[in-house]
Chain A
Amino acid sequence: MQGVNASPTTASMPARLLNRSIGKKILMSFSGLVLLGYVVGHLIGNLQIFVGQNALNAYAVFLHSIGAWLWIIRAFLLAMLIIHVWTALRLYFENRAARPIGYKRKVYQEATLSSRTMIWTGIGVFLFVVYHLMHFTLIITNPQYSHLEDALGRHDVYSMVILGFQNYLISAVYIVSIAIVSYHVAHASKSMFQTWGLNDTNFEKILHPATVIFAWLIFLGYVSIPIAVLTGFVKLPEGVI
């Protein structure tokens, strides 16, 4: 039994954001939007592999040249990731607690599989990000790429990516991971607009297909890179082992 709380309007704005269910939706959607922005930006940067070795390596040098800004951006992304993961875990456990006894039989009519598996695809995305950073940023899993240099003495990101994806196992893991990311994005990008209150029945007709197309573009964009490497469309430059 629960009494009616007479004066919840005394709660401060941060308390309403952190503790109320709609507040948590707001945190989830805005941190998610930032991370989604990163996913798009990262894709655009990576697609320079199709322009050539010089373009991609110059882009890598540019990213490192912004110095302090790079770390500010990284810290901001990390903060958003922590908010997103922390809120997701709170939601997951609270929502489980809200139904202590489940149904013997449960049929979903409208809830999509991607919406119901967000926590699991989310964990998948997280594990992939950890591995991906160890692979290409920290260069822990394949340390032999760390000394690659191009003709101008820059770190040869271009060759590192190609050597990485020439490994079938790495490419397979990557393609599956990107599929999980895109599946996560499919629900997220639609859900975001609903959370912000930008949904109505007319908008829904445009919004839903648009978010599906968006998720597919993310998938195809990222997957095009290992596919191009495996099919030999993008080749190692001369002189690299």
Chain B
Amino acid sequence: MNLTLYVWRQKNAGDKGRMDKYEAKDISPDMSFLEMLDVVNEDLEREGKDPIAFDHDCREGICGTCSLNVNGVAHGPEKGTTVCQLHMRNFKDGDKIYIEPWRAKAFPVVKDLIVDRSAFDRIMQAGGFVSVGTGGAPDANAIPISKEAAEDAFDAAACIGCGACVAACKNASAMLFVAAKVSHLANLPQGKVEAKRRVVNMINQMDLEGFGNCTNYYECQAACPKEISVKFIAQMNREYFRSLRYKEK
């Protein structure tokens, strides 16, 4: 099939950037979205032009590196899927496809469709860890954890930190990401010890990075490739209530 692409091109962080039009020819419906872009890039290189820069790594939907806004939706039209696992059979011949980078002040564009997501790393450094050495994998059931807590922690831990929640949110808020990290650790005994300090520090860092505020649109959970629920934002809010009076000793 043949497609018309409108792609955000931006030389570097200082460049103003613009949408450019490309024709993607002879695309197989079995290709992934990124493979389709590879084909376009090969054509561009043959013509001696600068290929479209985009982030990608594992291409199997687990690393959280790919980050494209496709036709106005973070990771494209298929639910619960990263854009690397989005296949061209979701489109039809003659479609026009708009491809844009994540848009947020906290995620500045590096080049074309690549954004700098190190703001997420700094939020993790602010509290997304357990300070004590927990040793190797413990024996099963050595530490009793209820099934509900284990399930919740696991659901939250599914976050791959891709930033689709920020990209989708009207306010460019990072609440779903931070909520997933806070809830993941707060549900487990190893993480409970530092729960109050963690939520205060991570929220503080999130605000410092210039992400927007959460106003409960729930657009984040719709865009999340791991389908992480906004119930974790509710949990983080509870954690924050508990920490309102918390002071470092």
Q: Footprint of B on A, CB under 8 Å?
A: 2-5, 7-11, 13, 16-17, 19-22, 24-26, 91, 94-95, 97-112, 115-116, 118, 187, 190-191, 194-201, 204
Note all chain A residues with C-beta closer than 8 A to B105: 97-100
Minimum Cβ distance to chain B for residue A42 (Å) = 25
- Give per-residue flags for B206-249: 1 if the beta carbon is below 8 A from chain A beta carbons, else 0: 11111111111111011100000111011111101100111110
Instruction: Give the chain B neighbours of A201 by CB distance below 8 A.
Output: 229, 231
CA distance A25 to B213 in the complex (A): 8
Chain A CB within 8 A of B103 CB: yes
Q: Which residues from B are CB-within-8-Å of A95?
A: 170-173, 212-213, 215
- A197 and B209 contact, CB distance less than 8 A: no
- Is A98 touching B98 in the complex (CB atoms < 8 A)? no
Asked if B175 is an interface residue, CB under 8 A from chain A, the answer is yes
Can you name the residue of chain B whose Cβ is closest to the Cβ of A204?
Answer: B231
* B197 CB–A CB distance under 8 Å: yes
Determine whether B92 belongs to the interface, using a CB cutoff of 8 Å to chain A. no
Q: State the CA gap A128–B168 with chains docked (Å).
A: 33
Q: Say whether A10 contacts B244, CB under 8 Å.
A: no
Residues in A with CB closer than 8 Å to B31 are: none
Whether A196 contacts B237 in the complex (CB less than 8 A), given A5-B208, A94-B213, A101-B103, comes out as yes
Tell me how far the C-beta of A93 lies from the nearest C-beta in chain B, rounded to whole angstroms.
10
B37 to chain A, nearest CB (A): 17
The residues of A that contact B207 with a CB separation of less than 8 Å are: 19-21
Bound-state CA distance A19–B207 (Å) is 9
- In the complex, 26 of the A-B residue pairs with CB atoms within 8 angstroms, ordered by the A residue number, are A2-B208, A8-B204, A9-B197, A9-B201, A9-B246, A9-B247, A21-B173, A21-B211, A25-B214, A91-B215, A94-B212, A94-B213, A95-B212, A99-B105, A101-B103, A107-B71, A107-B73, A108-B219, A111-B217, A111-B219, A194-B216, A194-B233, A196-B241, A199-B231, A200-B231, A201-B231
B53 CB-CB contact with A under 8 Å:
no
Given A21-B213, A103-B103, A4 contacting B230 (CB threshold 8 A)? no
Taken together as a complex, chains A and B put the C-alpha atoms of A119 and B171 apart, in Å, by: 13
Chain A residues whose CB sits within 8 angstroms of the CB of B6 once the complex forms: 104
Asked if B69 is at the interface of the complex by the 8 Å CB criterion, the answer is yes
Count of A-B contacts with CB under 8 A?
Answer: 169
Nearest CB on A from B149, distance (A): 13
Not counting A100-B105, A107-B72, a sample of 4 additional A-B residue pairs whose C-beta atoms are within 8 angstroms of each other reads: A10-B248, A107-B71, A108-B217, A116-B170
Do B103 and A8 have beta carbons less than 8 Å apart?
no
Q: How far is the CA of A199 from the CA of B238 in the complex (A)?
A: 10
Stretch in B59-67, B83-91, B118-126, B130-138 with 4+ CB within 8 Å of A: B118-126
A184 to chain B minimum Cβ distance, whole angstroms, is: 13
Assuming the A-B contacts A9-B248, A20-B203, are A110 and B218 also in contact, with contact meaning beta carbons closer than 8 angstroms in the complex?
yes
Does A197 lie within 8 Å of B19, measured CB to CB? no
- Write the chain A residue with the least CB distance to B202: A8
Which residue of the partner chain, among A24, A102, A103, A111, contacts B213 with CB atoms under 8 Å? A24
B112 within 8 A of A: no
Q: B114 near A: Cβ within 8 Å?
A: no
A3, A97, A196, A199: the one within 8 Å of B230 (CB): A199
Chain A nearest Cβ from B114, distance in angstroms = 15
Of A4, A22, A94, A108, the residue contacting B240 (CB under 8 A) is A22
| Cβ of A167 to closest chain B Cβ, rounded Å | 37
A110 to B207, CA, bound (A): 24
Cα distance A149–B77 in the bound complex, in angstroms = 64
Interface centre among B103, B222, B241 (most CB of A within 10 A): B103
The 10 A-B pairs of least Cβ separation, nearest first, read: A98-B212, A197-B238, A8-B204, A107-B72, A111-B217, A110-B222, A95-B171, A109-B222, A105-B72, A98-B172
B180 at the interface (CB under 8 A from A): no
Give residues 153-203 of B contacting A (CB, 8 Å). Answer: 168, 170-173, 175, 197, 200-201, 203
Central interface residue in B126, B171, B215, B245, by most chain A CB within 10 Å:
B215
For A187, give the chain B residue with the smallest CB separation: B216
Distance between A128 CB and nearest chain B CB, rounded to angstroms:
22
Bound-complex Cα distance A19 to B204 (A): 9
Contacts A98-B172, A98-B211, A197-B235 known; A191 to B216 CB distance under 8 Å?
Answer: yes
